[in-house]
Amino acid sequence: MNQIKHEGLFSVVQPDDSGMSLPFIYEEAGVVTLYFRMGSIQSQMREDRPDHLVLSYTRTMMAFLLFNRYPETLVMIGLGGGSMAKWCYRHLPCSDITVAEINPHVISLRDYFHIPQDDTRFRVLCEDGAAYVARASGQIDVLIVDGFDADGQPPELCSEEFYNACYDALTSSGLMVVNLCGWGDRINIARIEKIFGDRVLVVTPDDGSNRVVFACKGQPLWHGEHPGSFLMKLKEFDYQQRFSGASAHGSRCGSDRLWDERSME
C-alpha cells in the first residue's frame, strides 16, 4: 500500500474504477480524522486511546445501552473509522457484532484505525447494508445505522423501504439507532415515525450538527419516563463516556462500570 503524506494529510488508498468514494486521513496532535472530503468528518480517533468515542454523536448513539444493556445481536451499517464498532467490541464481550460496510476502501483502513480482526463474535462484511438488513428478518436486537459516503447519506439507507426493512429485521423488542446529518433530516425522521409510530425519540448531541434517532419496535423503552429526566440520563451517559478511561470487561456480559448506577434509577 502506497502512502502519500503532506502536512498531516494521508492518502492510503489508490483510485480504482469501483466508483466508491475514496477516504483519506488527516493526523494532527495525536488525533486521526477520516474524511471523504475536507470539512465533513467521517470519524475521529485518539492515537493514545483508539477505542475512545471522540465525537459527541457517537456517544449519544451508544446510549442505546440505557435501553438494552446486554444485546445478543448487534448490527452496524457503516464502518468509517470503526469508533462505535471498537467501543462495542470492548464493552460488550457477549454480544455478537456484525458491521456491514459497502466501501472496500474504508475497510482497507481497519488496521490503521485499530479495528479488531474478525473472530467468533465480531465481523466486518463488505456488502450493502440495505441488502443485509433485508434478509435479517426478526434477528437483530440493536441496529445502528451510520452509513455515509462523499455525498452524505445514500438514498438506499434512508428510504421508506429501507426503514421498513429495518423494522422487520428487529426482534420484537428491538431498537434502531440512526445518525442523521443533512438537509433531509426532517424528511427521514418523518419516514421513521411513519413506520415506528410514537416509539421514536430524537436527540440532538452537544455539537448540534447531528440528530440521533432512537426507534423501538415494541413498547417504547422510555415508557413512563419524563422527557427531561431521560435527556438528563443521556447527558450523564455522554459525560461519563467522554471522560471515562476504565475498562468495561467484567465477570459477566456487559459492565456496571459504563455508567453510574444512580443514573438508571
What amino acid positions are annotated as catalytic residues? 146
Angle, vertex CA 159, rays to CA 34 and CA 105, nearest 5: 25
Cell numbers standing for residue 69: 444493556
CA pseudo-torsion sign 65, 67, 68, 74? negative
Please answer whether residues 20 and 104 qualify as being in contact, where contact means their C-beta atoms are separated by less than 8 angstroms: yes
**DSSP string over 23-39:** PEEEEETTEEEEEEETT
Instruction: Answer yes or no: are the C-beta atoms of 24 and 10 closer than 8 Å.
Output: yes
Distance between CA atoms of 174 and 170, rounded to whole angstroms?
Answer: 5
CB count within 10 Å of CB 120 equals 6
- Tell me 115's DSSP state: P
**Amino acid, res. 31:** V
Strand order in 122-126's β-sheet?
A: 122-126, 96-101, 73-77, 140-145, 170-180, 211-216, 200-203
